[in-house]
């Protein structure tokens, strides 16, 4: 009997890497990818695996409780890896309501459906909620987020993720739902929507457009290559302990301005431009409202207890990422123009 695993948000940036990894590494699993295909979801991200027999795509909305319940009735789902979310801080400032709907109500629908359908048969089941380090708030110059750091979210995005984390923990405490949670730092790599810093910069540099640096560029983020996040998710899904939280990070802190300068140099090198050309496009713009100063993760728990650590050095990851976007400039143009919707029509509407 195949084991049915539901992955939500699998057409998005991180989700597509997780779906590919699970489909390829676990032929005994039937992977159900549930995604609404919002602006951030793109089936082109998965076209290399979408005809494999252990992969099924379902278009649907996690905020629709009838739909979510029907999904649990249709498939004998034994595991959930929940990534579907509104994920961009800037959008949460202009449109917080969609973050409340998807990240809070959507997570509630999923976890409640899992509880109802797994009632009396929790053995072997697992609900894995993917979260962010942003729930811990903003650090000063020193210190690291550990799994016991108090929640102190500062943006509508991080507040909605914090709320969903609390709900998931509450379902573990109250109903003994077998859950695990992980909180990860900033991801980078192929297939990231070009509203986020790194793909946005690469896209603009390709078109000789200004690179918008918020404030003075002094904010610090810890960056992790997306496939390293996918490998951590694999390890936690299979070996994590129910009720536990795991922090995931790259041990790789950069101020935005230093990161952008490094990125400019990699782009110049790969495009054969004179060194320093791209840096001239750096432009300081108005700061983000409530901009968190610093995120930094202590990932010693997952390293010690589950034997995971990042595999890629940042220089290598950045070079791979730039090379991917330059090679896949069509992907970048398509997601920017919305033309990928045509791919969806062609690929799935006639089936």
Q: Which residues bind ligand TYD (CB under 6 A)?
A: 89, 186, 196-197, 200, 212-214, 219, 221, 256, 288
Answer yes or no: 133 catalytic.
Answer: yes
Residue pair 330/175 in contact by the 8 Å Cβ criterion: no
Closer residue to ligand NAD, CB minimum distance, 144 or 281: 144
Q: Which of 78, 86, 133, 227 is catalytic?
A: 133
Closer residue to ligand NAD, CB minimum distance, 283 or 311: 311
Closest by Cα among 42, 85, 19 to 193:
42
Closer residue to ligand NAD, CB minimum distance, 22 or 278: 22
CB of 183 to ligand TYD, least distance (A): 13
Q: Which of 157, 188, 225, 325 is catalytic?
A: 157
Q: Which of 35, 86, 134, 227 is catalytic?
A: 134
Residue pair 302/236 in contact by the 8 Å Cβ criterion: yes
Answer yes or no: 345 catalytic.
Answer: no
Closest by Cα among 85, 48, 7 to 328:
48
Backbone angles phi, psi at 246, to 5 degrees: -130, 130
221 binds, among ligand TYD, ligand NAD, none (CB under 5 to 8 A by kind): ligand TYD
Interface residue list for ligand NAD (CB under 6 A): 8-9, 11-15, 35-38, 40-41, 61-63, 83-85, 87, 102, 106, 130, 132, 161, 184, 186-187, 193
Closest by Cα among 122, 107, 106 to 167:
107
Closer residue to ligand TYD, CB minimum distance, 36 or 197: 197
Q: How far apart are CA 94 and CA 322, in angstroms?
A: 29
Greatest distance between any 2 Cα atoms in the chain: 65
Residue pair 257/213 in contact by the 8 Å Cβ criterion: yes
Answer yes or no: 157 catalytic.
Answer: yes
Q: Which residues are catalytic?
A: 133-134, 157
């Amino acid at each position: 009997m195949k084991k049915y695993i539901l992955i939500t948000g699998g057409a998005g940036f991180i989700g597509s890497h997780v779906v590919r990894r699970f489909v390829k590494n676990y032929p005994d699993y039937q992977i159900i990818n549930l995604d609404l295909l919002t602006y951030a979801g793109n089936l082109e991200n998965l076209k290399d695996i979408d005809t494999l027999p252990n992969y099924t795509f379902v278009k649907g909305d996690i905020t629709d409780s009838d739909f979510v319940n029907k999904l649990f009735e249709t498939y004998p789902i034994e595991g959930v890896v929940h990534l579907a979310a509104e994920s961009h801080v800037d959008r949460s400032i202009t449109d917080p309501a969609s973050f409340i709907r998807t990240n809070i109500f959507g997570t509630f629908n999923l976890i409640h459906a899992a509880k109802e359908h797994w009632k009396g048969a929790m053995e072997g089941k697992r609900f894995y909620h993917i979260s962010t380090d942003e729930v811990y708030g903003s650090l000063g110059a020193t210190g690291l987020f550990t799994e016991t750091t108090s929640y102190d979210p500062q943006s509508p995005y991080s507040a909605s993720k914090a709320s969903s984390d609390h709900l998931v923990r509450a379902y573990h405490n109250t109903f003994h739902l077998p859950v695990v949670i992980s909180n990860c730092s900033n991801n980078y790599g192929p297939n990231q929507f070009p509203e986020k810093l790194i793909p946005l910069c690469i896209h603009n540099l390709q078109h000789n457009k200004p690179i918008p640096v918020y404030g003075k560029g002094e904010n610090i983020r810890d960056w992790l290559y997306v496939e390293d996040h996918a490998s951590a998710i694999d390890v936690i899904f299979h070996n994590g302990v129910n009720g536990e939280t795991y922090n995931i990070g790259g041990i790789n802190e950069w101020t935005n301005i230093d990161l952008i300068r490094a990125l400019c140099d990699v782009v110049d090198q790969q495009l054969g431009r004179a060194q320093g050309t791209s840096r001239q496009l750096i432009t300081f713009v108005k700061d983000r409202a409530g901009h968190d100063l610093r995120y930094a993760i202590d990932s010693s728990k997952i390293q010690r207890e589950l034997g995971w650590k990042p595999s890629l050095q940042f220089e290598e990851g950045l070079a791979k990422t730039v090379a991917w976007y330059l090679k896949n400039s069509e992907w970048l143009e398509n997601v920017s123009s919305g033309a990928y919707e045509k791919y969806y029509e062609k690929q799935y509407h006639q089936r």
